[in-house]
Structure 1
Amino acid sequence: MPPTDVSTEPDPAAGPPAGPVRRRRPLFYLGIALILVGLAILGWLGWQLWGTNWQSERRHAEVTEAVEKAWTGGEDRASTEFGEATAIVRIPRFGEDYAVPVLEGSSDEVLAAGIGHMEGSADAGAKGNYALAAHRVTHGQPFSEFPELEDGDLVEVQTRTATYTYELDNGGTDLILPFTSTWVLDEQPVNPDGGVQPPEGVGKRLITLVTCSEIFHTDDRSIVFGHLVSVEKTDR
């Protein structure tokens, strides 16, 4: 009797076993899906960190040009697709080229195009509290260097009729509060805890700057107070 062929060598003509392939396919597609999700997240982060800044810097320039043109025509404000622009802020601590438009309100559209003038707060140079808010990161990040502000730094607010110069009374890291601490927006802010607040004897024409206390999402805000020290009338 011829010997029985008990060889375990696979038959090349039979092809690879089907079972392992079927098991590998779901893992393969899962891996592809995870890679695509990762790329999407990286793309979103890239847009937030760089894309929104590029877009908002263009908006800053457009709104600044629009409000300056309105002033030349005798108008106090300019109507833009992002909101009503009323002023231009310059902060020497942030560099000679720093000039960011101020728009009325604090909506996402406003804060993506410049600095927001908080609803219900005083006008620039007027008695009361001229409260301004802006992003510290993304969307042009006008207040990216907020922690570098120091007591005595100047903030210049240019309008059609005058340039108002305020002197800061505390630094950018001296007062951090939850966003629910709305007393900082009062006409004459008084700290209920007896901490940092506008000092006595600086007058009743104040400015308050507000931004996020951390680079990424946070419910806390960094606050800086200041007071008016000079007014330079503009001849238009």
Structure 2
Amino acid sequence: MGERRRGADASSAPRRGVFYAGIVLVLAGLCLLGYVGWQFWGTNWVSHRHQAEARKELHAAWRGGHRAATTDFGTTQALIEIPRFGADYEVPVFTGTSEEVLAAGFGHFTGTAGPGQVGNYALAAHRVTHGEPLRQMPDLRVGDVIRVVTRDTTYVYTLTTGGDDLVVPFTAGWVIDPLPHNPDGGVEPAQRQGQRLITLTTCSELFHTDNRMIAFGVLTATHPRSTGTRSR
């Protein structure tokens, strides 16, 4: 009798091992699904709240006579409007391109021109997760308008390249030069000194970040900003 019990216990041990291993795999799968869900939905929800808070603080700073606002997510002094992406599209621009900045809006590459200045106003933003400001980058077309709204002025840039006309490795630093020149002889802005350019950069792939999608534009108009209203 004792031998049969010991034999039964021995034969059940592998089954228990398989059962517990299955439990571990199920839990690991649930954790992975939770992580993916957070990345694709949770970070967007949080980033949209951050954008709304930053917009509110920036408008308050403007009403108070200040050019910029210092928020929990960084310093911002401009808003980006892209009519192609909808009438309500209004995303803050922050100084620098840190992870914290890009989780709340556009990042302005340090050392590049400011809004409306001669040179290249170079911006970066996420295409997927963290608010996805440039999710629809491939939909941009030559002639589309990018508006950069500051306290006193709205700078209107017109795209000279489409959103997916140029894809480069993430190491291609030439795209944020004052006058970007393509070393491969491909897509680039018109090579005229003294231009006032804008460059949008984002990931070209949705699920990894080896390459960057680039769009160039040039300043075509400048308007006084109407206090208390959006530039429409």
Q: TM-score, normalised by structure 2?
A: 0.93
State the secondary structure of the residue aligned to 2:25: helix
- Identity among equivalent positions (%) equals 52
Distance in 2 separating the partners of 1:63 and 1:140: 13
Distance in 2 separating the partners of 1:198 and 1:138: 29
Q: Deviations over 1:48-99 (max 9, x none)?
A: 0000000000001000111111011111100001100110000000011111
Change over 3 Å in CA distance of 1:222–1:14 after alignment to 2: closer
Distance in 2 separating the partners of 1:108 and 1:48: 14
Q: Is the 8 A contact 1:147 1:171 kept in 2?
A: yes
Q: Is the 8 A contact 1:202 1:227 kept in 2?
A: no
Distance in 1 separating the partners of 2:146 and 2:226: 21
Distance in 1 separating the partners of 2:101 and 2:192: 34
Aligned to 2:9: 18
Aligned to 1:176: 167
Q: Is the 8 A contact 1:150 1:170 kept in 2?
A: yes
Change over 3 Å in CA distance of 1:182–1:54 after alignment to 2: same
> How far off its partner does 1:202 sit?
9.1
> How far off its partner does 1:172 sit?
1.0
> How far off its partner does 1:25 sit?
1.3
Aligned to 1:194: 185
* Residue from 201, 216, 222 that aligns with 1:210: 201
Q: Deviations over 1:135-168 (max 9, x none)?
A: 0000000000000000110000000110000000
Aligned length: 226
Counting only pairs closer than 5 Å after superposition, residues 125-204 of structure 1 correspond to structure 2 as 125-200=116-191, 204=195
Change over 3 Å in CA distance of 1:25–1:225 after alignment to 2: same
Q: Is the 8 A contact 1:137 1:144 kept in 2?
A: yes
> How far off its partner does 1:194 sit?
1.2
Q: Is the 8 A contact 2:199 2:217 kept in 1?
A: yes
State the secondary structure of the residue aligned to 1:160: coil
> How far off its partner does 1:218 sit?
2.1
Structure 2: where are the runs of 5+ without partners? 228-232
Q: Which moved more, 1:195-204 or 1:216-225?
A: 195-204
Distance in 2 separating the partners of 1:231 and 1:16: 87
* Residue from 11, 16, 21 that aligns with 1:30: 21
> How far off its partner does 1:193 sit?
1.2
* Residue from 68, 80, 88 that aligns with 2:71: 80
Q: Is the 8 A contact 1:208 1:224 kept in 2?
A: yes
Q: CA RMSD in A?
A: 1.8
Structure 1: where are the runs of 5+ without partners? 1-9
Distance in 2 separating the partners of 1:198 and 1:23: 67
Distance in 2 separating the partners of 1:105 and 1:25: 54
Q: TM-score, normalised by structure 1?
A: 0.92
